[in-house]
Amino acid sequence: MIFSGPNLALNQTTQQYPGIFGLGFAFKAVDGKTVYIPDNCAHTDWSSSTYEAWWKVDLGDLYTITGIKIYNRNRHGELRL
């Protein structure tokens, strides 16, 4: 399904747990970049002993959300919708 409308998360405040892996800061998930380049993705610290990793964004207001686009790296490092 194709969603259209404004990107409410673009450049908003983000957090993730358990910390970062490498240069995978949480804000990189909302910087608008959807083409993979090494170190341009959010990435939690997988070496942590916890299995409860999370990521969140503060949209700054209340909205009715009708769709979400999530891009994820594949095994080759490419970002996919």
DSSP 3-57: --S--TTTT-EEEEET-BSTT--GGGGGSS--S--TT-S--B-TTSS-S--EEEE
Mean pLDDT of the chain: 80
Give the DSSP H or E segment for 79. strand 79-80
| Contact assessment for residue 11 and residue 58, using Cβ atoms and an 8 Å cutoff | no
**Full-model pTM:** 0.73
pLDDT at position 40 is: 81
Q: How confident is the model at residue 58 (pLDDT cuts 50, 70, 90)?
A: very high
Query: pLDDT tens digits for 60-74?
Result: 999 998 888 887 766
Q: How confident is the model at residue 1 (pLDDT cuts 50, 70, 90)?
A: low
- pLDDT of 14 strictly over 80: yes
